[in-house]
Structure 1
Amino acid sequence: MEVKIGVQNAARELHIETDETAEAIGKAVADALAAGGVLTLKDVKGRTLVVPTDKLAYVEIGHGTVGQVGFRS
């Protein structure tokens, strides 16, 4: 699952590819916002991403684009 996170006052968004489901990611975001702490996600390589919830601008959850080769029309 591909997750894009917008951070306030940052020029670029954060991209993370994770093995979690969209429902699990959505619950993690909702729980972090309710608690007012940090959003913590793990990517497919085992790295951890931690973002303070007061700096979140948006979280976009979607499917990754694995294995695309060549031209598309």
Structure 2
Amino acid sequence: MEIRIGITNSGRELSFESSQSPSDIEKTVSDALGSDNSYFTLSDDKGRLYIVPTAGLAYVEVGSEEARRIGFVG
């Protein structure tokens, strides 16, 4: 699952692959935004941990996992 996170006042977005389900990611982000937490954490497929500040959060895009195509498409 591809996750892209936009941070305000930053020209780049945070993009990584995660094995977490879309509902788990949505719950983590909405719980952090609905409480007094100043950050939330997500992990990627390689075991890295991402700490994202809620104050600077612009957007969170959760994409579906798509199989890569091999060969030519005509």
Q: TM-score, normalised on structure 1? A: 0.87
Question: Which residue matches 2:39?
Answer: 38
Aligned Cα root-mean-square deviation (Å): 1.5
Cα displacement (A) at 1:23: 0.5
Matching of residue 17 in structure 1 with residue 17 in structure 2: yes
- Richer in helix (by share): 1
Mapped to 1, the partners of 2:18 and 2:30 lie a distance apart of 17
**Shift of residue 64 of structure 1?**
3.1
Q: C-alpha distance in 1, partners of 2:46/2:33?
A: 25
- Using the size of structure 2 for normalisation, the TM-score is 0.86
Structure 1, unpaired ranges of 5+: none
- Identity value in percent: 44
Q: Distance in 2 between matches of 1:31 and 1:57?
A: 16
Higher-Rg structure is 2
Unaligned runs of 5+ in 2: none
- Once superposed, which parts of structure 1, at least 4 consecutive aligned residues long, lie more than 6 Å away? none
